[in-house]
Structure 1
């Protein structure tokens, strides 16, 4: 009788462990809400890499909504987006030294300020410190040719393109 009770307890324990492992495997298979993404390319001799988390629109108003106008935005989701160049670059006509920076955007309806901040490792923009800005440049967003459900960055021969929802901005790099 005692052996039977012990057997049942052990059987339940083993079944519980197997069920818990199966549930975790199911969670791992689900797509992350804002998966990690990277955009890399050459601008002249420089290799440029943007590392970011790519949130989705999911039916939300992005510009002026989820990303409020007049507030510094982390330019992605989760940790701050990082911008790395292995050579000095000219960004919208201003010099940016080689290095890794947190990339932020300060959007308004008509113009965005692109911010390269010296504190690359940050969670979002919660501890953003303007005193650590290496460079700020203005860019003019435009209506994108098509709707982008996920935030995407693209390094092109002209520079860095940020595209999300129905807006895009080209940050000229040389």
Structure 2
């Protein structure tokens, strides 16, 4: 007979640049119990120190990386791993395990030789109290994030890094070799501008986008930003004015304001420079 689970299943998907991280786990609740280490009477708590923990409840927690990754600064191949931990008072060992078939923590069937990666992290104490065990991602940008585990007043933070530039370089080469469109050139130019790289090439690509796709407020906006990055403020202002006029026609008030703010800032920069 079906019945509600005490530790409900949860699935978390986090896009990270051009990569994705997926976590599947169950979320136990504290329910007034001592979570890590020993109880006040000396008896083991829910997760005793020095013993393997499945990082949640029920079956083993699974984590999937869509691309090769650095975890805590160490390389880990793309794929799916069982996620385990060996908590201690001062330091935790975090394990990415190749055998995903174990139920729970594997106990006697767990074999350290099947570990893909072990790293050591220091737990921290948070304010407030997290009743149900929570895995989340924070401090996210194109290249990295931190995976956070919160339960009770304990937090584990694990740095994760993808080489998004290398992944993007492969994709750009593929896109440029197969009938690129105006949107293709625009997206590459925008990426280069956002990442502060390949500025001259970015200008060539956005010009190609305008040549193929015509005048749009977003093409000219990115063109203005690239020109400003190249310190060609006069041309940047001209491009921003074109973008602002096109945005006005489409009722894109936000982009009218963004362009106007940039124009004012670049005029100030030119005035101060002179």
RMSD value, Cα: 1.3
Query: For the residues of structure 2 that align with 1:114 and 1:42, how far apart are their CA atoms?
Result: 22
Kept after mapping to 2: 8 A contact 1:86/1:99: yes
Query: For the residues of structure 1 that align with 2:32 and 2:64, how far apart are their CA atoms?
Result: 31
| Structure 2: tracts of 5 or more residues without a match | 38-44, 162-274
Query: For the residues of structure 1 that align with 2:33 and 2:158, how far apart are their CA atoms?
Result: 25
Other-structure match for 1:99: 79
Residue 132 of structure 2 is aligned to residue 150 of structure 1: yes
Higher strand content, 1 or 2: 1
Q: Give runs of aligned pairs for residues 21-170 of structure 1, distance below 5 A.
A: 28=3, 31-64=4-37, 65-125=45-105, 126=107, 127-156=109-138, 157=140, 158-170=145-157
Query: 4+ residue stretches of structure 1 with deviation over 2 A?
Result: 42-45
Higher helix content, 1 or 2: 2
Query: For the residues of structure 2 that align with 1:106 and 1:45, how far apart are their CA atoms?
Result: 31
Superposed CA deviations along residues 85-105 of structure 1, whole A, max 9, x for unmatched, are: 110110000001000000001
Superposed CA deviations along residues 117-161 of structure 1, whole A, max 9, x for unmatched, are: 001122111222111000001111101232111001002222210
Could you tell which deviates more after superposition, 143-152 or 97-106? 143-152
Query: For the residues of structure 1 that align with 2:54 and 2:17, how far apart are their CA atoms?
Result: 27
| Structure number with higher relative contact order (C-alpha < 8 Å, ≥ 6 residues apart) | 1
Q: TM-score, normalised by structure 2?
A: 0.52
Offset at residue 108 of structure 1 (A): 0.3
Query: For the residues of structure 2 that align with 1:46 and 1:140, how far apart are their CA atoms?
Result: 26
Query: For the residues of structure 2 that align with 1:155 and 1:122, how far apart are their CA atoms?
Result: 25
Query: For the residues of structure 1 that align with 2:18 and 2:60, how far apart are their CA atoms?
Result: 26
Report which of the two structures shows the higher radius of gyration computed on alpha carbons.
Answer: 2
Q: TM-score, normalised by structure 1?
A: 0.80
| Structure 1: tracts of 5 or more residues without a match | 1-23
